[in-house]
Amino acid sequence: MWRRGDFRSNFIAVLIFSWNEVIGFWFANMLAFFLIGLLVHLIFFASIFDIYFTSPLVHGMTPHRTALPPPAQRLVLFVADGLRADTFFELDENGQTRSPFLRNVVEHSGSWGVSHTRVPTESRPGHVALIAGFYEDVSAVAKGWKENPVEFDSVFNESKYTWCWGSPDILPMFAKGASGDHVYTRMYPAEMEDFAAQDASKLDTWVFNEVKNFFEFAKSNETLSAEMWAHEVVYFLHLLGLDTNGHAHRPMSSEYKENIRTVDKGIQEVISVIEDFYRNDKKTAFIYTSDHGMTEWGSHGAGHPSETLTPLVAWGAGVNGPLVGSNQQFQDDFLQEWKLNDRKRFDVNQADVAPLMAALIGVPFPLNSVGILPLEYLNNSDQYKAECMLTNTMQILEQFTVKMIHKKETTLSFLFSPFKPLPLSKGQDMLRTARLYIQQQQYDEAISLCKSLVNLALEGLSYYHTYDRVFLGISVVLGFVGWISYAFVLIVKRHTGLSQPISKLDKLPSNNHLPAVFTGAGMVITLFLLIQSCPWTYYIYCLLPIPVWYAVMKEFRIIQNVINLVLTCPAKSIGYLLLFILGIETMVASFFHRQVLTFGLLSFAGWPLLSKRFQQNKVMSLSWISFSFILAVFPLMPVVGRSPNITLVSAAGLLTVICSFIFLCSFEMAKATSVETTVSRSVYAAQVASIILSVYIVNTTHSSLAVKHGLPLSSQVISWTTLASSLLTPLLSSTFIFQRLLSINLSLMSTYLLLSTGYEAFFPLVLSSLVFVWINLERETIRFHNVSPAEKQLSMINFAQKSDSTHVRHLGLDDIRRSYFFIFFIVTAFFGTGNIASVNSFDPASVYCFLTVFNPFVMGALMMWKILIPFVIVMCAFEGIQVSTRLSSNSLFLIVLVISDIMALHFFFLVKDYGSWLDIGTSSVIRRPFEEPPTSPQQMPSNSTKTSGPGIILLFSTRVRCYIYACSHQGASTIMSAYVRQATELGVNRLVKSSYYQPTVDFGGIINSGSCTDDTRGFITN
Ligand SMILES: [Zn+2]
Ligand SMILES: [Zn+2]
C-alpha cells in the first residue's frame, strides 16, 4: 500500500498550522485579535494530538506467562537495520545468494517469512514493534524518537539478562525503559556513523568482534559465565551498517549488497562462537530480521513496499524446520523471484515477533504488546502452542479490560456505550471455554477460539481508544469555524464599506440577551464535563466555541449586510464562491498530487489575457506567461530517487549570475538608481562571487566524495560561512524595492546551490523571476483601476518608508485574488521540487557540503532551511506587493489567514481519513493480512456448514469463522450480500474487514465491491 501522501499530508497539516501562527505576527497592532488568534490556533493544533495521536498504551496490567517449560533457554536476536526483504532473499546476477549461511538456514533448518512493518518506517518504531510488540504512538515523534515518551515493557525487560551491542541511537531506549539493571549495552561512539568516508559495514564488524570478545572473556569470568548460563537470556545484535550504506550509496549499490555478505559471514562466525560456548546444548533460538526496508533512493519513513517488507528468519531451539510448501498463494511474486517456492513462507506483522521471542524463551509477553503469536514458527507440543496462545489472549484481553474500565469510570453511566461485540462476561466465558478445550486436549479448537477472542479484544481496544474522537472533533471544528467567521467579519468591518448600520436592524433587541445565552451554555457544558471527570484539555476544546461565537454574533449586523449584498446579485456571488472553492480545493489536492500545481500554474498563465493586462504591458505579460510555463514543469519532475547531477547545479549557478548582471544593467540603463551607493555595489559583487564560490564548492565536494576522500575541511568551512553570511548581507543593500529583493534572492541562492544535488537548483531562480514579474503586473493592475494615484515609479518604492495611512484603500475582489496567488506560490514553493518528501524520506546527499557524519538534528535543520528558501522568496515578494499596492498589511494578511485556515480545516478532516500517523496512534486493530483461508472445500474444518450458491459462490462457516468465496465478475456484490445475510442467520454476527483482499465485506454486512477482480473474498468471524 502506498502511503507516502498520507504521511506527508499530516506533516503539512502541522506546517500549515504553524504557518498560521507566523501570520499572526502581522497583527501586532491588533493585540486582542492577535492573542485570540494565536490561542485558537494553538488549541486547534494541540487538539490534533489529543484527538488523533494519543498514546494507545494502558497501564496496570499484570504479566502473563506460560507455565510449561519453554523450548529454548536463550535467544539471539539479529536486527540488520534497513535491510529490505527482496535484496536479502533474492539471488544475485549469477544466481548465487548473498547470504549463503542464512539461505541454508531457510532451506534446511529454519522457518522464514516476510515481516510487515508499519509507517513510519523508522528505526525506533521498528525496534519498539519488534521488541516491545506495539506500534509506537506519535507522541514519540514530538520527542524526536530519542527519549522514551512513555515507559514501556519489552522482551528485554522481561528477560533475566539481556546483552546488547550496536548503535547509540537504539540501544539506550531499551536499557532505560527496563526496570532494574539486567539490560547491558555496549555501543560504539556516534562519530563512527560517518556516511561517506569509509565503508559502513565496519559498524557491523565492530559488533561481531565485540560479541566474540565478550564470549571469550566470559570463559574466564565465573560470575558472567554463570549469568550467561541462566534461563531467559537474550543477546541482541543491532547491525547498523546496512542502513548507513543504504543511505549513503542506495540499496542497489555494491556497498549495500556487499554488506549483506559481511553480515551473513559475521552471523555464521558469531553463532559458532556461541554454540561453542554453550557446548552445543541445542538450547539457543535465533531470529534474524530488520526494523524497516529502504527505497531505491536510499531513504525510509514512508509506506512503500520496499520500506515496509522486511525479512524474518528463525531457527534453533523451539523453531520449526522448513515445511515443504506447494501451491502457496501470495499476492506478490516473491516466491518465484526468490526461488523459494518449495519452502513454506509464513508472513507476520512486525509486532508478532515480540510474542514469538517471549514464547521461545518462556518470559511473560510484554505488557503492551498487541502482537499475535505466529504459531507456525513454533516447534513444540500442541499443548505448549495452545497454552502460549491462551497466555497471549489473556495478555491482550487484559489491556482491553483495563481500558474499558477506565473509560467506564470517566463517563456518565447513561451515556456509556460499551463495545457490544465483546462484553466483559463474554471474554471471560470464551477464556473459560478455551481452558476447557485445553484440558480436554482439543488444542486446535482452543487455538482458534483464542485467535477470534484476540481479534475482538484488539478491535475493542481500538474502539475505546477512539471513543471520544467524534465528540472532541465536533467541538474543535465548531470553535475553528467560529474563528474563521470572526476573521471574515473583521475583514468586512474594517476594510470594506459594508459595516454601516442598517437602521431597521438596529432596533432588534436580541443583542441584549446574547451574553446571558452564551454564559448559560458555557455553564451547562462545564457541568457536563465536571460530572464525567474529563481531563482538563477537554474543557478547553468544549468551551472554546463559546467566546468565539459570541464575538461573531455580536457583529450580527455585518453578517446581515453581507447576506443582503449577496442576495442582490446571487448568480455572480455563487460564481465567485465556486471559483473560490475550486481554488482552495486545487491547493488541497496539490498536497497529495503535485501535478495539480502544474494545472494551477498553467491557469495562472492565462491571467494577463483574461484581465486585459496584456494590452497594457506586452513584455511583462509575455514574461509572466513564459515563467509560469517553466515553473509548471517542476511539479512534473520526479520527487526523489534521482541520482545527483552536479552539472545542473553548476548551470543553475551560472544562469543566476547572468540574470543578475542583466538585471543590474537594466537598473543602470533606467537611471532609476541615482541613490545607489558604492556600498550596495560591493554587496552585489560579493554576492555574485559567493554564488560562483558555491558552485565551485559543490563540485569539489562531490568529486572528493566520489573518490571516497571524505569531505574537505575547506569546503565545510566555506559552506557554513556562506550560510551564515547569507542571512546578514541583504541587510547591507539598498532598501529600494528591487535592489533589496535582488540582494535577498542572491544570498538565498548561494545557500540553495550548496544544498542542491540536481535540477532543483533552477527552482528558486524561476520562482523569483516569476514573482518579480508578478510585482510589476500588480502595480499595473492598481494603476489600471486607478485605485491609488501612482505618484512614484515602481523602482523608486522604498521598503524603509512608512506607509502613509491616507493612501490605504478599501479591499476589492482583486485583493482576494492577490492573496490567493500568494498562498498558491507558497504551496508551490514547498512542493515545486517535492522537497517535503525529501525531508520525510531523508536524502543526505544534499547536505554533504556541510557535514557527512550522521546527525539528525543538524541535517534536519539544513533540509528545513532548503525548503524554506523558496518560501522566503515568495514572502519577500508579497511584502513588495503590499507596499506597492498601498494596501494595509492587516487586511491582506487577514484574507490570507482566512484562506489558509479553511485549508487547515480541510486537513483536520483528512487527518482522520487518511492519516498513517493514525496507524501509529491507534495501533490496536491488528490485521493478519496473509493468513490464508482454506483454498478448497476439502481443506475446510470437518464441522463446518457448507452452503453453495449458484455455482460461483461457496460459503463455509464453522462455529467461529465463516469464509465467503466469490469468483464472479458480475453481480458479485448482490450475491455476496445475500450470503452475508445467510451467514448472519447461521449465527455469524460480526464481519471483519481484511485489507489484503479487496475490501468487499464491510462492517455490518454492506458489501462495497465496485469492481470485482477474479477472486473476491471476504471472511467473517463471529
Ligand atoms: Zn533503522
Ligand atoms: Zn536509516
Q: How far is the CA of 296 from the centre of ligand 2 (A)?
A: 13
pLDDT for 794 equals 56
CA-closest candidate to residue 698, choices 524, 500, 838, 849: 849
- Ligand closest to Cα of 291 equals 1
Q: Is 564 helix (H, G, I), strand (E, B) or coil?
A: helix
In percent, how much of the chain has pLDDT > 70? Answer: 75
Q: How far is the CA of 123 from the centre of ligand 1 (A)?
A: 3
Q: What average pLDDT is seen over the chain? A: 77
pLDDT digits (tens, 9 = 90+) for 978-988: 555 554 554 44
- Ligand closest to Cα of 298 equals 2
Q: How far is the CA of 475 from the centre of ligand 1 (A)?
A: 39
Please state the rounded mean pLDDT for residues 370-396: 94
- Ligand closest to Cα of 117 equals 1
The set of residues, in sequence order, having a beta carbon less than 8 Å from that of 745 and lying 6+ positions away, is 764, 768, 873, 876
Half-sphere exposure (Cβ direction) of 276: Cα atoms closer than 13 Å: 11
809 versus 356: the higher-pLDDT residue is 356
Helix, strand and coil percent figures for the chain, each rounded to 5:
60, 10, 30
- Is 916's pLDDT higher than 60? no
The set of residues, in sequence order, having a beta carbon less than 8 Å from that of 110 and lying 6+ positions away, is 286, 313, 314, 315, 316, 319, 320, 321, 322
- Ligand closest to Cα of 167 equals 1
- Ligand closest to Cα of 129 equals 1
Q: How far is the CA of 298 from the centre of ligand 2 (A)?
A: 8
Neighbours of ion ligand 2 (CB under 5 A): 243
| The dihedral formed by the CA atoms of 653, 659, 663 and 664, expressed in degrees to the nearest 10 | 50
One-letter amino acid at 867 equals I
Q: How far is the CA of 19 from the centre of ligand 2 (A)?
A: 29
pLDDT for 998 equals 31
Evaluate whether 203 touches 193 at the Cβ level (below 8 Å).
yes
pLDDT for 966 equals 40
Residue at grid coordinates 486537513:
907
Q: How far is the CA of 203 from the centre of ligand 1 (A)?
A: 13
- Which bin fits 834, alpha (ψ -120 to 50), beta or left (φ > 0)? left
pLDDT band of residue 100 (cuts 50, 70, 90) is very high
pLDDT digits (tens, 9 = 90+) for 429-477: 999 999 999 999 999 999 999 999 999 999 998 888 888 888 888 888 8
C-alpha cell at 822: 500568494
State how far the alpha carbon of 1011 is from the alpha carbons of 689, 966, 973, 1014, in Å: 61, 13, 9, 10
Cβ neighbours, 10 Å, residue 158: 26
pLDDT for 843 equals 62
Q: How far is the CA of 298 from the centre of ligand 1 (A)?
A: 12
- Is 544's pLDDT higher than 70? yes
The highest-confidence range among 416-430, 436-450, 518-532, 868-882, by mean pLDDT, is 436-450
State how far the alpha carbon of 711 is from the alpha carbons of 197, 212, 249, 648, 848, in Å: 8, 33, 15, 21, 7
- Is 1014's pLDDT higher than 80? no
965 versus 927: the higher-pLDDT residue is 965
- Ligand closest to Cα of 292 equals 1
Evaluate whether 44 touches 139 at the Cβ level (below 8 Å).
no
- Is 180's pLDDT higher than 50? yes
Q: How far is the CA of 498 from the centre of ligand 2 (A)?
A: 57
Evaluate whether 15 touches 896 at the Cβ level (below 8 Å).
no
- Cβ burial, residue 321 (10 Å; 0-12/13-18/19+): exposed
pLDDT band of residue 780 (cuts 50, 70, 90) is confident
DSSP letters, 752-810, are: HHHT--SGGGGHHHHHHHHHHHHHHHHHHHHHHHT-S---S-GGG-BTTSPPPGGG---
- Is 273's pLDDT higher than 60? yes
Whole-angstrom distance between the N-terminal and C-terminal Cα of the chain? 28
Q: How far is the CA of 182 from the centre of ligand 2 (A)?
A: 28
Q: How far is the CA of 856 from the centre of ligand 2 (A)?
A: 10
Residue at grid coordinates 543553475:
652
Q: How far is the CA of 196 from the centre of ligand 2 (A)?
A: 14
Evaluate whether 326 touches 145 at the Cβ level (below 8 Å).
no
pLDDT digits (tens, 9 = 90+) for 653-710: 999 999 888 887 777 766 554 445 566 777 888 888 899 999 998 888 888 877 777 7
Q: How far is the CA of 218 from the centre of ligand 2 (A)?
A: 33
Q: How far is CA 69 from the centre of its chain?
A: 42
pLDDT band of residue 911 (cuts 50, 70, 90) is low
790 versus 771: the higher-pLDDT residue is 771
pLDDT for 844 equals 67
- Is 920's pLDDT higher than 50? no
The highest-confidence range among 91-105, 530-544, 827-841, by mean pLDDT, is 91-105
883 versus 626: the higher-pLDDT residue is 626
Omega within 30 of 0 (cis) for the link into 545: no
550 versus 6: the higher-pLDDT residue is 550
Q: Is 995 helix (H, G, I), strand (E, B) or coil?
A: coil
Q: How far is the CA of 844 from the centre of ligand 1 (A)?
A: 15
- Is 562's pLDDT higher than 50? yes
The set of residues, in sequence order, having a beta carbon less than 8 Å from that of 659 and lying 6+ positions away, is 765, 769
> Residue 881 — φ and ψ, nearest 5°?
-65, -40
Q: How far is the CA of 170 from the centre of ligand 1 (A)?
A: 9
Long-range contacts of 464-472 (CB under 8 A, 24+ apart): 464/400, 464/403, 464/404, 464/407, 464/419, 465/54, 465/56, 465/403, 465/922, 465/924, 466/922, 467/407, 468/51, 468/538, 469/51, 469/52, 469/912, 472/47, 472/50, 472/51, 472/538, 472/541
SS3 readout for 577-592:
HHHHHHHHHHHHHHCC
Evaluate whether 432 touches 492 at the Cβ level (below 8 Å).
no
Distance, CA of 736 to CA of 600 (rounded, Å) = 31
Cβ neighbours, 10 Å, residue 615: 10
Q: How far is the CA of 133 from the centre of ligand 2 (A)?
A: 21
State how far the alpha carbon of 145 is from the alpha carbons of 84, 172, 718, in Å: 22, 11, 32
Q: How far is the CA of 306 from the centre of ligand 2 (A)?
A: 13
Q: Is 78 helix (H, G, I), strand (E, B) or coil?
A: strand
959 versus 51: the higher-pLDDT residue is 51
Q: How far is the CA of 293 from the centre of ligand 2 (A)?
A: 9
Q: How far is the CA of 169 from the centre of ligand 1 (A)?
A: 10
> Residue 10 — φ and ψ, nearest 5°?
-70, -40
pLDDT for 676 equals 52
Q: How far is the CA of 383 from the centre of ligand 2 (A)?
A: 41
Q: Is 93 helix (H, G, I), strand (E, B) or coil?
A: coil
CA-closest candidate to residue 86, choices 335, 414, 409: 335
CA-closest candidate to residue 207, choices 145, 124, 269, 249: 269
- Is 799's pLDDT higher than 70? no
- Ligand closest to Cα of 243 equals 2
DSSP bridge pairs for 287: 77, 314
Q: How far is the CA of 304 from the centre of ligand 1 (A)?
A: 15
- Ligand closest to Cα of 842 equals 2
DSSP bridge pairs for 97: 91
- Cβ burial, residue 21 (10 Å; 0-12/13-18/19+): middle
- Ligand closest to Cα of 81 equals 1
Q: How far is CA 344 from the centre of its chain?
A: 34
C-alpha cell at 725: 553570511
Q: How far is the CA of 254 from the centre of ligand 1 (A)?
A: 19
C-alpha cell at 414: 447513561
pLDDT band of residue 360 (cuts 50, 70, 90) is very high
- Is 791's pLDDT higher than 50? no
Q: How far is the CA of 308 from the centre of ligand 2 (A)?
A: 13
Q: How far is the CA of 593 from the centre of ligand 1 (A)?
A: 28
Cβ neighbours, 10 Å, residue 1006: 11
pLDDT band of residue 326 (cuts 50, 70, 90) is confident
C-alpha cell at 80: 540488520
Q: How far is the CA of 291 from the centre of ligand 1 (A)?
A: 6
pLDDT band of residue 967 (cuts 50, 70, 90) is very low
One-letter amino acid at 238 equals H
Q: How far is the CA of 579 from the centre of ligand 1 (A)?
A: 46
Q: How far is the CA of 575 from the centre of ligand 2 (A)?
A: 50
Distance, CA of 496 to CA of 411 (rounded, Å) = 48
One-letter amino acid at 683 equals V
- Is 736's pLDDT higher than 80? no
pLDDT for 558 equals 83
pLDDT for 798 equals 56
Q: How far is the CA of 1009 from the centre of ligand 1 (A)?
A: 38
- Ligand closest to Cα of 127 equals 1
Q: How far is the CA of 95 from the centre of ligand 2 (A)?
A: 28
> Residue 235 — φ and ψ, nearest 5°?
-115, 130
Cβ neighbours, 10 Å, residue 894: 27
In percent, how much of the chain has pLDDT > 90? Answer: 26
Cβ neighbours, 10 Å, residue 675: 12
- Ligand closest to Cα of 82 equals 1
Distance, CA of 603 to CA of 583 (rounded, Å) = 11
**Helix crossing, 424-439 with 443-465: angle to 10°?**
160
